[in-house]
Amino acid sequence: MKPWKKCLLLLAAFLAYLFAGAFVIILIERDEVTRAQEKFFGELGAFVQSHYACGATPDEVIALMEKAGVAYSRGAFYSEMASSHNELLAVWSWPNSILFASSVVTTIGYGRLAPKTVGGQVFCLFFAVLGVPLCYVVFSMVGDTFNALWKRFTRCSDKCLEVIRSKNARRFLLGAITLMGLWILLVLLPSVIFTHTEPWEWWRAQYFCFVSLSTIGFGDVIYGLEREGDSYALDWSYKLGILVYFFLGLSLISIVFKGVWHSQRKNLNRAKARIRSTTRGLRSRTFNLGPHSDRHTFLSSAHRHDVLDPVGVMDALGKESWKQGVVGVSYRIIEKNDAGGSSSGYSDTVLETTV
């Protein structure tokens, strides 16, 4: 298949995948949004009815909420903040700023905090341009450094699975064991901790861990939003622990990816070496099977052209050091067809001998 056809097919498959995902998410989420809107307008009507004496109308309440939304989008407050005006400066505290910087360079990007000024946005662009490649270089180096752990893991797995004769079955089981181990270490165990530090259910905690370490970062489930009464030191410790979790998790994923990449590269190098050893010494050589004659002279001659036995060619090849590299020998016999002593033409017969 031509490359442009493959490109079109992959593009069509990718678009179909996107549209299928959009369709499924609409089916799952549309009813919930409708119920939330109905509940909101019902509570809004009840609020206006109970405060009728204040003269507030539903439109005025909605306008106030829109202003609050604008203030929220500009970073005036967010739901983790305390309501006291004296703590407004805690929005860009050191713990929050460090986690924001880490979400930029790791491309997680929750959207929990974002720069609102032009200067902050421009700085974020340059910071990401340098920080994102640097982050992936660091993770790549971590993967290379701890590649010995992956080799030790694969050796132990091969010893445990050597009773299975099928190579494909061993690879499948090794992949399943690796994925299960990553899920337990990076998702299940941390989710147990998050169920105690956050008001989340176990499934919601697993969802948060997967979305974070896959760098999707929807921002719908965010740590620390519902934690209240934490001291500054406790807030520092908690967010530092989350930062360590992110980097350790991404580093472990990098180690696995690097290990798989090294093993695949080793297999590719072995295949290349096998091909080189097979084709080593191949040469294009010509052997004369008989004395050369001009075509017209040959056709006008009364006798057939004498040729050497093709076996003689094989004997000649036997004297060469590259005999194993010979794939085949082809020779042509041109003979004169005589009919009543007159030349009626000639025929070519091509014979091929495979070594």
Pick the most confident of 46-55, 300-309, 340-349: 46-55
Provide the pLDDT confidence category of residue 302 given band limits of 50, 70 and 90: very low
What is d(CA 150, CA 158) in angstroms, rounded to the nearest whole number? 12
Using the predicted structure, report yes or no on whether residue 259 has a pLDDT greater than 50: yes
Using the predicted structure, report yes or no on whether residue 134 has a pLDDT greater than 60: yes
What are the distances in angstroms from CA 181 to CA 153, 184, 228? 11, 5, 34
Average pLDDT over residues 311-337: 48
Using the predicted structure, report yes or no on whether residue 240 has a pLDDT greater than 70: yes
Using the predicted structure, report yes or no on whether residue 237 has a pLDDT greater than 80: yes
Using the predicted structure, report yes or no on whether residue 327 has a pLDDT greater than 70: no
Give the residue, 264 or 71, on which the prediction is more confident. Answer: 264
So what's the pLDDT on residue 291? 55
Residues 6+ apart with CB under 8 A from 202: 191, 192, 195
Task: Tell me the pLDDT tens digit for each residue of 56-70.
Answer: 777 777 787 777 776
What is d(CA 276, CA 294) in angstroms, rounded to the nearest whole number? 41
Residue 154's identity, in one-letter code, is: T
Using the predicted structure, report yes or no on whether residue 186 has a pLDDT greater than 90: yes
What is d(CA 346, CA 337) in angstroms, rounded to the nearest whole number? 6
Locate 99 and state its tokens. Answer: 């986690």
pTM above 0.75, yes or no: no
So what's the pLDDT on residue 185? 93
Average pLDDT over residues 270-275: 81
Task: Tell me the pLDDT tens digit for each residue of 75-102.
Answer: 565 544 444 444 444 567 788 788 888 8
> Are 90 and 119 a contacting pair, CB within 8 Å?
no
Residue 298's identity, in one-letter code, is: F
What are the distances in angstroms from CA 189 to CA 64, 198, 249? 43, 14, 12
- Judged by average pLDDT, the poorest of 15-29, 270-284, 287-301 is 287-301
Average pLDDT over residues 1-29: 76
Provide the pLDDT confidence category of residue 113 given band limits of 50, 70 and 90: confident
Task: Tell me the pLDDT tens digit for each residue of 149-175.
Answer: 888 888 888 788 888 888 888 888 888
So what's the pLDDT on residue 300? 54
Mean pLDDT (the chain) is 73
Helix runs in the chain, H state only: 3-50, 58-73, 94-105, 118-145, 147-160, 167-183, 189-197, 202-213, 232-279, 295-300, 310-318
Using the predicted structure, report yes or no on whether residue 188 has a pLDDT greater than 60: yes
Using the predicted structure, report yes or no on whether residue 333 has a pLDDT greater than 70: no
SS3 87: helix
So what's the pLDDT on residue 344? 43
Average pLDDT over residues 327-342: 49
Provide the pLDDT confidence category of residue 187 given band limits of 50, 70 and 90: very high
Average pLDDT over residues 322-350: 47
Using the predicted structure, report yes or no on whether residue 307 has a pLDDT greater than 70: no
Task: Tell me the pLDDT tens digit for each residue of 198-235.
Answer: 989 999 999 999 999 988 888 888 887 666 667 778 88
What is d(CA 147, CA 175) in angstroms, rounded to the nearest whole number? 17
Using the predicted structure, report yes or no on whether residue 40 has a pLDDT greater than 60: yes
